[in-house]
Amino acid sequence: MLKAQNPILSGFHPDPSILRVGDDYYLATSTFQWFGGVALYHSRDLVSWEELPSPLRRVSQLDMAGNPNSGGVWAPCLSYCDGTFYLIYTNVKNFHGIFKDTHNYLVTTNDLYGEWSEPIYLNSSGFDPSLFHDDDGRKWLVNMRWDHRVEKNDFSGILIQEYSPSEKKLVGEPRLIFKGTSIGATEAPHIYKLNGYYYLMVAEGGTMYNHGVQMARSSQLFGPYEADPMPLLTTRNNPERRYQRTGHASLIDTPRGEWFVSYLLGRPVGDKKRCILGRECAIAKVVWDENGWLRLADGGVVPPEEYTVDLEKSSVPELPETDYFNEKEIPPRYKTLRIPLDEFGSLTEREGYLRLWGHESITSWNKQAMVARRLQHHHAEATIEMEFAPTDFQKMAGLTVFYDTYNFFYLYKSYDDELGEVLRIIVRDSLKFYNPLGGAIQIPKSEKIWLRARIDNLTLKFYYSIDNKTYEQVGPELDCSNLSDEAYCDIDHEGHTGTFIGMACQDLTGGANNTRAYADFASFTYKHYDE
Q: Which of 15, 280, 429, 507 is catalytic?
A: 15
Asked, for residue 315, whether it belongs to a domain, the answer is no
Asked, for residue 128, whether it belongs to a domain, the answer is yes
Q: Are residues 366 and 273 in the same domain?
A: no
Question: What is the separation of C-alpha 372 from the centre of its chain, rounded to a whole number of angstroms?
Answer: 12
Q: What is the DSSP letter of 156?
A: E
Q: Are residues 357 and 278 in the same domain?
A: no
- Count other C-beta atoms under 10 Å from residue 275's C-beta: 25
* Residues 413, 418: Cα–Cα separation, whole Å: 15
Q: Are residues 192 and 333 in the same domain?
A: no
Average pLDDT for the chain: 96
Q: Are residues 364 and 256 in the same domain?
A: no
Asked, for residue 253, whether it belongs to a domain, the answer is yes
Look at the chain and report how many structural domains it folds into.
Answer: 2
Q: What is the DSSP letter of 341?
A: G
Strands 2-5 and 306-309: antiparallel
Listed as ranges, residues in the chain with pLDDT below 70 are: 489-493, 513, 531
Torsion angle of the four alpha carbons 391, 394, 398, 403, in this order, in degrees rounded to the nearest 10: 180
- CA angle 288-290-294, nearest 5°? 25
Q: Are residues 287 and 376 in the same domain?
A: no
263, 281, 309 — which closes off a domain? 309
Q: Are residues 330 and 386 in the same domain?
A: yes
Q: Give φ, ψ of 367 to 5 degrees.
A: -120, 95
- CATH number for the domain including 389? 2.60.120.200
309, 334, 349 — which closes off a domain? 309
Asked, for residue 314, whether it belongs to a domain, the answer is no
Q: Are residues 378 and 244 in the same domain?
A: no
Q: What is the pLDDT of residues 269-287, one digit of tens each?
A: 998 899 999 999 999 999 9
User: In terms of residue numbers, what domain contains 406?
Assistant: 322-528
DSSP 439-486: S-EE----SEEEEEEEEETTEEEEEEESSSSS-EEEEEEEE-TTSSGG
Residue 60, judged by CB atoms within 10 A of its CB (0-12, 13-18, 19+), counts as: exposed
Q: Are residues 432 and 454 in the same domain?
A: yes
Q: Which of 118, 147, 162, 187 is catalytic?
A: 187
pLDDT for res 531? 62
* Residues 365, 65: Cα–Cα separation, whole Å: 6
**86 and 78 in contact (C-beta within 8 Å)?**
yes
Q: Are residues 200 and 286 in the same domain?
A: yes
Q: What is the pLDDT of residues 10-38, one digit of tens each?
A: 999 999 999 999 999 999 999 999 998 99
- Count other C-beta atoms under 10 Å from residue 9's C-beta: 23
Kindly tell me the sign of the dihedral angle through the C-alpha atoms of 193, 195, 196, 201: negative
Q: Are residues 382 and 412 in the same domain?
A: yes
Asked, for residue 316, whether it belongs to a domain, the answer is no
Q: What is the DSSP letter of 210?
A: T
pLDDT for res 490? 60
- CATH number for the domain including 41? 2.115.10.20
> Which of 206, 209, 200 minimizes the C-alpha distance to 185?
206
Asked, for residue 245, whether it belongs to a domain, the answer is yes
Which amino acid type is present at position 419? L
Q: What is the pLDDT of residues 54-113, one digit of tens each?
A: 999 999 999 999 999 999 999 999 999 999 999 999 999 999 889 999 999 999 999 999
**399 and 381 in contact (C-beta within 8 Å)?**
no
pLDDT for res 513? 66
- Count other C-beta atoms under 10 Å from residue 505's C-beta: 31
Which residues 6+ apart lie within 8 Å of 150 measured at CB? 98
What's the chain's length in residues?
Answer: 531
pLDDT for res 438? 94
- Return the beta strands (E) in 291-419 as ranges: 294-296, 306-309, 322-324, 334-337, 345-346, 354-357, 369-374, 379-387, 395-404, 407-416
Which amino acid type is present at position 142? V
**Cis peptide preceding 7, ω within 30 of 0:** yes
Asked, for residue 213, whether it belongs to a domain, the answer is yes
Asked, for residue 386, whether it belongs to a domain, the answer is yes
The yes-or-no answer on residue 15 being catalytic is yes
258, 279, 309 — which closes off a domain? 309
If phi over 0 gives left and psi between -120 and 50 gives alpha, with beta otherwise, what is residue 157? left
Residue 118, judged by CB atoms within 10 A of its CB (0-12, 13-18, 19+), counts as: exposed
Q: If DSSP codes are grouped into helix, strand and coil, which group holds residue 99?
A: coil
Q: Are residues 95 and 50 in the same domain?
A: yes
Q: Are residues 336 and 442 in the same domain?
A: yes
